[in-house]
Amino acid sequence: MNYTRIPKDELEELKQEFINFLVVNGITADDWVFIKENEPVNADEIINQFSDVVWESVLRSTEYLNKVESDTAYYFKCDAEEIHLIRIVKTTTVTEQHITSKKYSKTRELELFQMIQNGCAIADGKDYKALE
Protein backbone atom coordinates (compact mmCIF):
# COMPACT_ATOMS: atom_id res chain seq x y z
CA MET A 1 0.00 0.00 0.00
CA ASN A 2 1.13 3.52 -0.75
CA TYR A 3 -1.33 5.12 1.68
CA THR A 4 -3.43 4.08 4.67
CA ARG A 5 -6.41 1.79 4.50
CA ILE A 6 -9.80 3.45 4.45
CA PRO A 7 -11.60 2.80 7.76
CA LYS A 8 -14.64 0.53 7.60
CA ASP A 9 -17.14 3.34 8.31
CA GLU A 10 -15.73 5.45 5.47
CA LEU A 11 -15.65 2.39 3.22
CA GLU A 12 -19.41 2.05 3.78
CA GLU A 13 -19.85 5.63 2.53
CA LEU A 14 -17.93 4.69 -0.63
CA LYS A 15 -20.02 1.59 -1.32
CA GLN A 16 -20.94 2.52 -4.90
CA GLU A 17 -17.35 3.48 -5.74
CA PHE A 18 -16.17 0.15 -4.30
CA ILE A 19 -18.72 -1.75 -6.38
CA ASN A 20 -17.49 0.10 -9.47
CA PHE A 21 -13.90 -0.77 -8.53
CA LEU A 22 -14.82 -4.45 -8.23
CA VAL A 23 -16.61 -4.41 -11.60
CA VAL A 24 -13.67 -2.73 -13.34
CA ASN A 25 -11.44 -5.45 -11.89
CA GLY A 26 -13.74 -8.23 -13.10
CA ILE A 27 -15.09 -9.17 -9.68
CA THR A 28 -18.82 -9.88 -9.58
CA ALA A 29 -21.01 -9.57 -6.48
CA ASP A 30 -20.97 -13.36 -6.07
CA ASP A 31 -17.18 -13.41 -6.47
CA TRP A 32 -16.83 -10.75 -3.77
CA VAL A 33 -19.02 -12.69 -1.34
CA PHE A 34 -16.93 -15.81 -1.98
CA ILE A 35 -13.65 -13.93 -1.56
CA LYS A 36 -14.79 -12.30 1.71
CA GLU A 37 -15.91 -15.62 3.17
CA ASN A 38 -13.14 -17.89 1.90
CA GLU A 39 -10.11 -15.74 1.09
CA PRO A 40 -9.82 -13.06 3.79
CA VAL A 41 -6.22 -12.20 2.88
CA ASN A 42 -7.23 -11.64 -0.75
CA ALA A 43 -10.25 -9.58 0.39
CA ASP A 44 -7.95 -7.40 2.51
CA GLU A 45 -5.64 -6.89 -0.45
CA ILE A 46 -8.55 -5.81 -2.65
CA ILE A 47 -9.68 -3.30 -0.01
CA ASN A 48 -6.09 -2.04 0.28
CA GLN A 49 -5.90 -1.55 -3.49
CA PHE A 50 -9.22 0.31 -3.44
CA SER A 51 -7.96 2.51 -0.59
CA ASP A 52 -4.90 3.45 -2.65
CA VAL A 53 -7.11 4.31 -5.65
CA VAL A 54 -9.33 6.55 -3.50
CA TRP A 55 -6.37 8.29 -1.84
CA GLU A 56 -4.66 8.79 -5.19
CA SER A 57 -7.80 10.41 -6.59
CA VAL A 58 -8.19 12.72 -3.59
CA LEU A 59 -4.53 13.72 -3.58
CA ARG A 60 -4.40 14.41 -7.32
CA SER A 61 -7.28 16.86 -6.95
CA THR A 62 -5.84 18.56 -3.85
CA GLU A 63 -4.68 22.09 -4.57
CA TYR A 64 -4.40 23.61 -1.10
CA LEU A 65 -3.53 22.45 2.41
CA ASN A 66 -3.67 24.34 5.71
CA LYS A 67 -2.27 23.66 9.15
CA VAL A 68 -3.05 25.98 12.04
CA GLU A 69 -1.25 25.70 15.37
CA SER A 70 -1.42 27.93 18.44
CA ASP A 71 1.14 30.49 17.23
CA THR A 72 1.84 29.47 13.63
CA ALA A 73 -0.35 28.92 10.59
CA TYR A 74 0.79 27.23 7.39
CA TYR A 75 -0.99 27.76 4.07
CA PHE A 76 0.16 25.61 1.16
CA LYS A 77 -0.53 25.85 -2.56
CA CYS A 78 0.21 22.50 -4.17
CA ASP A 79 1.21 22.93 -7.81
CA ALA A 80 2.22 20.07 -10.09
CA GLU A 81 5.99 20.54 -9.72
CA GLU A 82 6.43 22.50 -6.48
CA ILE A 83 4.69 23.47 -3.29
CA HIS A 84 4.35 27.06 -2.08
CA LEU A 85 4.09 28.04 1.57
CA ILE A 86 2.85 31.13 3.34
CA ARG A 87 3.68 30.83 7.03
CA ILE A 88 2.23 33.22 9.57
CA VAL A 89 3.95 33.39 12.97
CA LYS A 90 2.36 35.32 15.82
CA THR A 91 4.48 36.48 18.70
CA THR A 92 3.39 38.58 21.63
CA THR A 93 4.39 41.77 19.83
CA VAL A 94 4.29 41.14 16.10
CA THR A 95 2.95 38.91 13.34
CA GLU A 96 5.48 37.77 10.75
CA GLN A 97 4.76 36.37 7.30
CA HIS A 98 7.22 34.14 5.44
CA ILE A 99 6.78 32.97 1.85
CA THR A 100 8.77 30.17 0.24
CA SER A 101 8.53 27.46 -2.41
CA LYS A 102 10.24 24.13 -3.00
CA LYS A 103 10.13 21.19 -5.36
CA TYR A 104 8.63 17.99 -4.00
CA SER A 105 11.19 15.66 -2.45
CA LYS A 106 8.98 12.62 -3.18
CA THR A 107 6.10 12.16 -5.55
CA ARG A 108 3.59 14.99 -5.17
CA GLU A 109 0.80 12.73 -3.94
CA LEU A 110 2.97 10.92 -1.39
CA GLU A 111 4.29 14.18 0.00
CA LEU A 112 0.77 15.63 0.31
CA PHE A 113 -0.40 12.42 1.99
CA GLN A 114 2.40 12.65 4.56
CA MET A 115 1.51 16.28 5.21
CA ILE A 116 -2.12 15.26 5.85
CA GLN A 117 -0.93 12.50 8.17
CA ASN A 118 1.07 15.18 10.04
CA GLY A 119 -1.93 17.41 10.66
CA CYS A 120 -2.56 19.37 7.45
CA ALA A 121 -6.12 19.61 6.20
CA ILE A 122 -7.31 19.87 2.62
CA ALA A 123 -8.45 23.45 2.06
CA ASP A 124 -10.32 25.52 -0.51
CA GLY A 125 -7.46 28.01 -0.97
CA LYS A 126 -9.34 31.10 0.19
CA ASP A 127 -6.89 31.77 3.03
CA TYR A 128 -3.85 31.23 0.80
CA LYS A 129 -5.24 33.53 -1.91
CA ALA A 130 -6.12 36.22 0.64
CA LEU A 131 -2.56 36.20 1.97
CA GLU A 132 -0.85 35.96 -1.42
User: Amino acid identity of 41?
Assistant: V
Please determine, for residue 92, whether its predicted confidence score (pLDDT) is greater than 90.
no
Taking the CA atoms of residue 122, residue 127, residue 130 and residue 131 in that order, the dihedral angle to the nearest 10 degrees is -100
Which DSSP helix (H) or strand (E) runs through 5? none
Burial of 132 (0-12, 13-18, 19+ CB in 10 A): exposed
Please determine, for residue 25, whether its predicted confidence score (pLDDT) is greater than 90.
yes
> What is the mean pLDDT of the segment spanning 9-38?
95
pLDDT (0 to 100) of residue 128: 97
pLDDT digits (tens, 9 = 90+) for 35-80: 999 999 999 999 999 999 999 999 999 999 999 999 999 999 999 9
pLDDT digits (tens, 9 = 90+) for 97-120: 999 999 999 899 999 999 999 999
> What is the mean pLDDT of the segment spanning 13-21?
95
